Amino acid sequence: MSDKTPEQHRNDIYAKDLDDKSSTPAIPAATVVLLRQRETSPEVLMLRKNSKIAFGGMWVFPGGRIDEEDYPADRDLEGAARVAAAREAAEEAAVTATPEEFVWFAHWTPPPSSPKRFATYFFATVIEGSENVQIDGGEVLDHMWIAPAEALAKHGAGDIDLAPPTWVTLYHLTRRATARAVIDDFSARAPRHYATRIGQRADGVRVAIWEGDGAYVHGDADAEGTRHRLVMAKGGFEFEHPPEDY
């Protein structure tokens, strides 16, 4: 680990102290990527959170913590996550979505150093009636339908704020030309599990590291080896990964 002061992008949501380990379990949560097809590109619904709540000011997908009433009788966590994601879509955007049609494609767990940790199921679905989005102006202040590549470009220009899991998800979405192709691709893969570790390169740049990266076990962000990481330099995010994996 470098002693150099960390260089942090403004959307690096993880704690500055990499040695700070929380003993508090991550809160189960769920989010759903709502897709529609427009001309030659899929579009995704994004919501801007109130700056006074978790992920405040950032553009996110509909979602939140899993409530007790979301659990089915058998206490199945994935089933509860599906219900929670659909409930949040209705509460935050007035969108009706069917949990059984959701494709579970990822699960994100923040590093132990994070001040507030949500272990989040990520689902995706294509919806109809996409013009009827309504927000309450309380927890959610704005919304937009946007092409994933455009959202990443806006983030790179500093126009919008995106948490690392949102950024990586949008990157996924840019790899397919249609909303249906996105769903088909996610359906054909096992869900990806991102148990995040944070490292720091010798130049002070922080990186979010996931399994498959050569530094995942030992934490040396400058070590040679395969790459599966998000470089969070002040100039912008850069996703490094084996090309065949995405």
Nearest-angstrom CA–CA distance, 100 and 62: 17
The residue assigned the tokens 């080896």 is 225
Nearest-angstrom CA–CA distance, 218 and 223: 9
2-60 confidence digits (pLDDT tens): 567 778 898 998 876 665 566 678 999 999 999 999 888 899 999 998 866 656 789 99
Nearest-angstrom CA–CA distance, 11 and 115: 15
Residue 91 half-sphere exposure, CB side, CA atoms within 13 Å? 14
Q: Ramachandran region of residue 70, left (φ > 0), alpha (ψ -120 to 50) or beta?
A: alpha
Q: Say what percent of the chain tops pLDDT 70.
A: 92
